[in-house]
Amino acid sequence: MFRRHRRWLQAPFFDKASIAQYLPVQTREAHVLLSNLLVDPDSFVKHVRRFSGATMLETLYGHSVISSDDEYLRLIDTTIEGTTAASAPGAALVDFIPILKYTPTWLPGGGWKRHTLEGRAALQETHVKTYALAEMHANNGKLSVVGSLIKEYSDKGEIGSLLPEIMHLGSSTYNAGTDTTKCVLHSFILAMVLHPEAYKKAQDEMDRVVGHDRLPTLEDRDSLPYLECIQKETYRWLCPVPLSLPHASSEDDEYRGYFIPKGTTVIPNLWLMCRDPKDYPSPDDFLPERFSALTAEEVERIDPRNIVFGHGRRICPGRRFADISPEMP
């Protein structure tokens, strides 16, 4: 099932042509974000939430958001907020003592199960509504990631058995794509507020390269090296998914004298990797310049994007889309 899901995400989020296809949505929503920040900077949390949610809602389901109070934005965000905390690895005792899943909801201490069941019902409702949304847009010729899957498997006559999986893929990808994007943008804003000298340097570069008569585009990216350093340092300084996702060793292994039996749960500490003083001296400081005085090979070697998107077979399938870097490995 996981292999199938990875394949389903590979085509839209990894192939160069598909990433280009979703670029107009990302660009339009970036412009909406800028305009909202200009008009009402104090509500930056709300604007960032709209940016990340609107981009994913349109890419995944074909739905264009026209207000921060959008019905689907509210529905899916509320559902996901309710389920994310409960589903974090180790968030409940049942993760360690599986027999607890038989606890009756009415028993004192059974509140976690009631919350989980309520969360599941809300998720199911969201699945049904967002599936109908993607189907409606696909029937009207507006394709999206979920809409394309619905069309492909409906044409093959296989949609029935795959329906729950397609619904789940939509909501889990929405969750994975919005939370992380929000986190990076919040970290960027925090870094710029705390480090006006870095902000000023980036602004000067922007003025020099882009001028005052237009907004920057992706084509300007190569001409904005300091901004690129800020982006790398933002990923590194506040690693967005500090403990990645739990992995399992597929065979017996040994690491620095520690024996790791096959099937062991391994939780990668990405946060610590981003703070290795050998590669990143004074790791707690926000220092974009650390990437500018190095050779291209060195920068590539210590590029935090090699860390923050995870590793191995489960590496983030949305990394090229998130970074708008079609060349990223």
**DSSP alpha helices (H): ranges in the chain?**
2-14, 16-39, 44-61, 71-87, 111-139, 145-155, 159-194, 196-210, 225-237, 270-273, 296-302, 305-308, 319-323
Q: Can you read off the two tokens belonging to residue 131?
A: 């599936």
318 scored as a contact of ligand HEM (CB under 6 A): yes
Residues near ligand HEM (CB under 6 A), total: 26
177 scored as a contact of ligand HEM (CB under 6 A): yes
Q: Can you read off the two tokens belonging to residue 114?
A: 């009631």
Alpha-carbon span 233 to 294, nearest angstrom? 14
Of 31-39, 74-82, 173-181, 273-281, the segment contacting ligand HEM by CB under 6 A is 173-181
Beta carbon of residue 176, minimum distance to ligand HEM (angstroms, whole number) = 3
**E strand or H helix at 276:** none
Alpha-carbon span 272 to 28, nearest angstrom? 35
Cβ atoms 234, 188 nearer than 8 A: yes
Comparing CB distances to ligand HEM, the nearer of 37 and 241 is 241
151 scored as a contact of ligand HEM (CB under 6 A): no
Comparing CB distances to ligand HEM, the nearer of 9 and 162 is 9
Q: Can you read off the two tokens belonging to residue 88?
A: 């974090």
83 scored as a contact of ligand HEM (CB under 6 A): no
Beta carbon of residue 261, minimum distance to ligand HEM (angstroms, whole number) = 20
Closest CA to 321 of 28, 17, 32: 17
Beta carbon of residue 279, minimum distance to ligand HEM (angstroms, whole number) = 18
Q: Tokens 């705390």, residue?
A: 194
CA distances to 188, 194, 204, 294, 310 from 198, rounded to whole Å, are: 11, 9, 10, 18, 28
Beta carbon of residue 317, minimum distance to ligand HEM (angstroms, whole number) = 5
Alpha-carbon span 146 to 130, nearest angstrom? 9
Q: Which of residues 229-288 bind ligand HEM (CB under 6 A)?
A: 240-241, 244-245
Residue 76 is which amino acid?
I
Q: Tokens 């847009």, residue?
A: 137
Comparing CB distances to ligand HEM, the nearer of 113 and 288 is 288
Contacting residue, 154, 314, 325, 328, with ligand HEM by CB under 6 A: 314
Contacting residue, 180, 187, 231, 234, with ligand HEM by CB under 6 A: 180
Comparing CB distances to ligand HEM, the nearer of 55 and 113 is 55
Contacting residue, 32, 92, 184, 227, with ligand HEM by CB under 6 A: 184
Beta carbon of residue 179, minimum distance to ligand HEM (angstroms, whole number) = 8
146 scored as a contact of ligand HEM (CB under 6 A): no
Q: Can you give the binding site for ligand HEM, defined by CB under 6 A?
A: 6, 9, 13, 172-173, 176-177, 180-181, 184, 240-241, 244-245, 308-312, 314-318, 321-322
